[in-house]
Amino acid sequence: MSAETFGRYLPPVITLDDLAAMNAADPNGHRYELSPEGALSVMPPADSEHAAIAGRIFAWLVLAGWPGEQLLQAVGIKLPGPAGDGGGRIPDLTIWSAPQPRVVWLPTTDLVLAVEIVSPGSASMDRTTKVQEYAAAGIPRYWLVERDTAQTVTLYSLEEDGTYDVTTKMPLAWLLQTQPADHGLKA
């Protein structure tokens, strides 16, 4: 289907409810996300390397004592926009300070960490756009996992001025040899 044909079937303003319906109806596993300003993004389905990275980080956190109900994979988060809750992103992994209700789009109030694993179709979004959006939403930590040979993880922490600072970069294998508390994450 062409972009022109696809666009004919979209409402003039896409809501988070529309986005949830698009995600639920996609037979190919694409993720539909919305910037706080209302721009639609279509993310490719995750591949096996992506799933393995997410699984390794998830297992590391569980073994360190994080309750499973506070570790959520591919859950939607609401991002503040010019007119309130304008956007919705779906990080690959999130850590919450408390169990969350069963809803499609969660507010970022209790969100401690958002993790994105770079995919070829989302690289610039993950490295630039989401860094800015997640900082603006007040998410205390953001980790970006590259798909290079070392699977380099960049750890960002929110500064007082509302922007992220890179606290460190390390191969995923090194990160998994530490404790989450070493990086400000306490279960």
> Domain extents for the chain?
46-183
At 2 the pLDDT is 47
Percent of the chain's residues with pLDDT above 90: 71
Instruction: Please compute the mean of the pLDDT values over residues 38-51 and round it to a whole number.
Output: 90
pLDDT digits (tens, 9 = 90+) for 76-114: 999 988 766 679 999 999 999 999 999 999 999 999 999
pLDDT at 177 over 70: yes
| Distance set, CA 132 to CA 41, 82, 148, 165 (Å) | 16, 14, 23, 11
Instruction: Please compute the mean of the pLDDT values over residues 72-77 and round it to a whole number.
Output: 95
Provide the pLDDT confidence category of residue 60 given band limits of 50, 70 and 90: very high
Return the closest-CA partner of residue 116 out of 137, 139, 90: 90
Residue 170's beta-bridge partner residues? 153
Provide the whole-model pTM.
0.91
Q: Give CATH for domain 46-183.
A: 3.90.1570.10
Instruction: Please compute the mean of the pLDDT values over residues 136-163 and round it to a whole number.
Output: 97
Instruction: Please compute the mean of the pLDDT values over residues 114-140 and round it to a whole number.
Output: 93
Return the closest-CA partner of residue 14 out of 30, 36, 38, 33: 38
Residue with tokens 């179709």: 121
pLDDT digits (tens, 9 = 90+) for 2-34: 445 455 667 778 889 888 999 999 998 889 999
> Could you give the CA distance from residue 77 to residue 118 in angstroms, rounded to a whole number?
18
pLDDT at 179 over 50: yes
